[in-house]
Amino acid sequence: MIFHLLAQSAGYRPFLDPLPVWPNYIWPWLVVPLCAAVSIVYKSIRCRSMSRVPREALSITFWILLGLAAAAVVLAVLVRGIVERQ
Amino acid sequence: MSERSSASSVPAPLVGLASWLVPGLGYWLIGQRSRALAAGLSIIILFIAGLLIAGVRSLEVPGYGPHGRPVLVENNRSSDELDSGDWALTSHPLDEIRAKPWSIPQIMAGPIDLLFSVWSVRASQTGPTGAPIGVRSHSRTNEIGVLYTAVAGMLNLLVIIDSAYRAGQTEGQ
């Protein structure tokens, strides 16, 4: 994955060129920083004490990712098992 | 890292405005500095990461077309290729914003969105080679970039509301 990114990113101009993240083994991983940022901001708002934020944000990030993975499995089963058989 | 609100007398609307200007600044003004850094940096990093992934041209700027020219309206026809007419953003602002709905959550990220929008318009214009300076992203890359920037804006809206509420609580005490 990293080798692909490095090879494809030669000549990459930050902000002017899109990053070559379209292969299916790269783009799904971009959900991780998105979930982490949502968790940190959400927990920064919700927690009374900021000392609890890192642990609670890590926990909620894990649960969001688990929920997304579960939804992906359910959808994959639906599409491959039911829709593609018809 | 415990947060103690200093007895701040900053008015809640000013705290909200500060949060829009710089994500997290509202918390900083009411003395909640670690909360300001955590929320503010997360939002700014998320917004910039979206633009690093999809490029600045993933920001669709109301009033401007894909070639970086103003969208003009003449005889109920709107295009950025017309030579004369009224500017769509002033003559039909709601239609123009409705055509680019992601600009609404993105603007919640504050002036950082306006700065990158100016860059987006400039990068859409043709350069010395005859091609646009910036490359337009498509499909998933574009979707991910737009999602990152829009989510950053929505998170900042939460921060604006929360910081203004906390400032109001401090004022009331």
CA distance B92 to chain A (A): 30
H helix and E strand count, chain B? 8, 3
| Burial profile A47-69: b = 16 or more Cβ within 10 angstroms, e = fewer | beebeebeebbeebbeebeeeee
Give the Å distances, CA to CA, from B83 to B16, B68, B87. Answer: 41, 14, 11
| Burial profile B92-125: b = 16 or more Cβ within 10 angstroms, e = fewer | beeebbeebeebebbbbbbebbeebbebbbebbe
Please tell me the predicted confidence (pLDDT) of residue B161.
97
Please tell me the predicted confidence (pLDDT) of residue A10.
74
* Chain A residues closer than 8 Å to B134 by CB: 15-17
Please tell me the predicted confidence (pLDDT) of residue A21.
86
Mean pLDDT by 10 residues, chain B (173 residues): 58 96 97 96 98 95 93 88 89 92 96 97 90 89 96 98 91 57
ipTM over 0.90: no
Contacts of A25 (CB under 8 A, 6+ apart): A1
Beta partners for residue A45, in sequence order: none
Select from B106, B78, B81, B82 the least CA-distant residue to B93.
Answer: B78
Please tell me the predicted confidence (pLDDT) of residue A2.
64
* Chain B residues closer than 8 Å to A16 by CB: 55-56, 123, 133-135
A15 touches B: beta carbon within 8 Å:
yes
Q: Which phi and psi (to 5°) does residue B73 adopt?
A: -115, 130
SS3 assignment, position B157? helix
Query: Which parts of chain B are beta strand (E)?
Result: 72-74, 77-79, 86-87
H helix and E strand count, chain A? 3, 0
Q: Indicate the pairing of strand B72-74 with strand B77-79.
A: antiparallel
Contacts of A58 (CB under 8 A, 6+ apart): A39
Please tell me the predicted confidence (pLDDT) of residue B70.
93
A42 touches B: beta carbon within 8 Å:
yes
| DSSP structure class, residue B70 | B
With a cut of 50, list the residues of chain A below it in pLDDT. Answer: none
| DSSP structure class, residue B61 | P
Please tell me the predicted confidence (pLDDT) of residue B83.
85
Q: Do B55 and A30 touch (CB under 8 A)?
A: no
Q: Do B39 and A45 touch (CB under 8 A)?
A: yes
- Residues of B at the A interface, defined by Cβ within 8 angstroms: 1-3, 32, 34-35, 38-39, 42-43, 45-46, 49, 51-56, 58, 116, 119, 123, 133-135, 137, 139-142, 144-145, 147-148, 151-152, 155, 158-159, 162
The model's pTM? 0.91
